[in-house]
């Protein structure tokens, strides 16, 4: 495909793509610039905002802790929470919320309108506890069940804030510190991190600027999200591919730095009331019935997606510094994934 022509059509300044096969990175390709009007070209070190792919990392942390017996995936989370409890109501009376419900967006939670928007300069920086209590502009109502847990799927950032508070109450550790300790460092990832709102990345020069669907730099250059565990990871396409490869290795019983085979298979299995969601990831199959898991992110100025054919041990990561105003499958991200799938995978 004429990638440069497609980038021009979609008004995408920069793209990073990594393809992997049989437990190895086969190639990475880079196009365009990190910021429109500047000469900082995209390369192997370029860092993009992974947005909601952050949830996959939080899920890996929870699954690792459960594997070690630190957390119980099927225990009432209110029995683990200490600083705050999910309010009891008629829905909670029928079924208690567990970590598996939270990880698979089936905990009975609906995010309220206008919640989980980017951080605005000058506003107080909230903690997960502030967010679940509903005391800030990022989430204006206390998190509570709005349907019987396990009976419906509703994508929920609030659920991952509850997970972060469970981790804090049980371990006394933030998701940021936990991910560094049990995911990023074991995998040797030097360019992957959760960006704290009140801190600047060590090497801003390698971080892509965000752009709107006209290719203009967004206000503030980069968006910061207060729900760290659900939307604040930055990484490269190669390092995100390495995370996916470790999950796939575990699934096949090969050496993994994070999960064992039993846990990986649980992560990649349909859960609860829907067949297309696992633990922190989503499940699907291509037109030939080949199954894959995917995780995707879409925030102010950025869009990305990971697709991994876990049975075949093949996959692709696409990261862009543009918000196209359309879902991944309809944007340049989806077009590249489709092209790679057709020419390298099928």
Between 261 and 23, the more confident residue is 261
The position carrying tokens 């892509």 is 208
3-state SS string over the chain? Answer: CCHHHHHHHHCCCEEEEEEEECCEEEEEEEEEECCCCCCCECCCCCEEEEECCHHHHHHHHHHHHHHCCCCCCCCCHHHCCCCCCCCCCHHHHHCCCCHHHHHCCCCCCCCCCCCCCCCCCCCCCCCHHHHHHCCECCECCCCCCCCCCCCCCCCCHHHHHHHHHHHHHHHCCCHHHHHHHHHHCCCCCCCCEECCCCCCCCCHHHECCCECCCCCECCCCCCCCCCHHHHCEEECHHHHHHHHHHHHHHHCCCCCCCCCHHHHHHHCCCCCCCCCECCCCEEEECCCCCEEEEEEEEECCEEEEEEEECCCCEEEEEEECCCCCCCHHHCHHHHHHHHHHHHHHC
Q: What are the distances in angstroms from CA 44 to CA 13, 47, 55?
A: 16, 9, 24
pLDDT tens by residue, 106-149:
999 999 999 999 988 778 889 999 999 999 999 999 999 999 99
- Residue 202 in this model has a pLDDT that exceeds 60: no
pLDDT for residue 255: 95
The encoded tokens of residue 231 equal 């939307």
pLDDT for residue 168: 98
Contact call for residues 133 and 90 (beta carbons, < 8 A): no
pLDDT for residue 50: 97
Distance CA 78, CA 165 (A): 11
Kindly tell me the burial class for residue 24, based on how many C-beta atoms sit within 10 Å of its own C-beta (0-12, 13-18, 19 or more).
Answer: exposed
Contact call for residues 211 and 322 (beta carbons, < 8 A): yes
pLDDT tens by residue, 185-201:
999 999 999 988 766 65
The encoded tokens of residue 304 equal 């990305």
What mean pLDDT is predicted for residues 89-109? 98
Nearest to 313 by CA among 63, 24, 59: 24
pLDDT for residue 1: 84
- If pLDDT is split at 50, 70 and 90, which confidence band does 102 have? very high
The encoded tokens of residue 212 equal 């709107």
* Portion of the chain with pLDDT greater than 70, in percent: 97
pLDDT tens by residue, 62-73:
999 999 999 999
pTM of model > 0.75? yes
- Residue 162 in this model has a pLDDT that exceeds 80: yes
For position 28, which CATH number holds?
3.40.710.10
Number of domains in the chain: 1
pLDDT for residue 46: 96
pLDDT for residue 123: 81
Kindly report the number of other CB atoms within 10 A of residue 123's CB atom: 12
Q: Which domain holds residue 298?
A: 3-345
- Residue 203 in this model has a pLDDT that exceeds 60: no
What mean pLDDT is predicted for residues 275-298? 96
pLDDT for residue 185: 98
pLDDT for residue 85: 98
Q: Distance from first CA to last CA of the chain, Å, rounded?
A: 17
pLDDT for residue 12: 98
Mean pLDDT of the chain: 95
- Residue 327 in this model has a pLDDT that exceeds 90: yes
Dihedral of CA 176/178/180/184: which sign? negative
């Amino acid at each position: 495909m004429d990638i440069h022509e497609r980038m021009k059509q979609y008004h995408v300044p920069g793209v990073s793509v990594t393809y992997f096969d049989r437990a190895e990175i086969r190639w990475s390709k880079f196009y365009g610039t990190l910021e429109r009007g500047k000469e900082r070209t995209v390369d192997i070190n370029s860092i993009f905002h992974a947005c909601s792919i952050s949830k996959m990392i939080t899920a890996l942390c929870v699954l690792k802790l459960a594997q070690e017996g630190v957390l119980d995936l099927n225990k009432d989370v209110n029995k683990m929470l200490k600083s705050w409890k999910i309010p009891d109501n008629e829905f909670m009376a029928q079924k208690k919320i567990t970590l598996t419900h939270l990880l698979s967006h089936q905990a009975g939670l609906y995010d309220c309108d206008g919640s989980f928007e980017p951080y605005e300069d000058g506003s107080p920086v909230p903690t997960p506890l502030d967010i679940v209590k509903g005391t800030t502009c990022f989430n204006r109502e206390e998190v509570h069940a709005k349907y019987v847990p396990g009976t419906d799927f509703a994508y929920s950032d609030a659920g991952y804030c509850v997970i972060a508070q469970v981790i804090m109450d049980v371990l006394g550790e933030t998701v940021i510190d936990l991910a560094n300790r049990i995911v990023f460092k074991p995998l040797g990832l030097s360019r992957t991190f959760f960006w704290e709102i009140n801190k600047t990345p060590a090497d801003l020069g390698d971080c892509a600027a965000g752009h709107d669907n006209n290719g203009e730099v967004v206000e503030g250059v980069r968006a910061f999200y207060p729900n760290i565990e659900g939307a604040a990871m930055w990484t490269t396409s190669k390092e995100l591919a390495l995370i996916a490869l470790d999950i796939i290795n575990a699934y096949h019983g090969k050496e993994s730095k994070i999960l064992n085979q039993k846990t990986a298979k649980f992560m990649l299995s349909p859960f609860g009331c829907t067949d297309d969601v696992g633990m922190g990831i989503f499940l699907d199959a291509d037109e030939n019935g080949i199954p894959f898991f995917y995780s995707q992110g879409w925030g102010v100025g950025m869009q990305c997606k990971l697709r991994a054919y876990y049975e075949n041990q093949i996959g692709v990561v696409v990261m862009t510094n543009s918000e196209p105003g359309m879902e991944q499958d309809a944007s340049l991200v989806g077009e590249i994934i489709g092209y790679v799938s057709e020419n390298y995978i099928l």
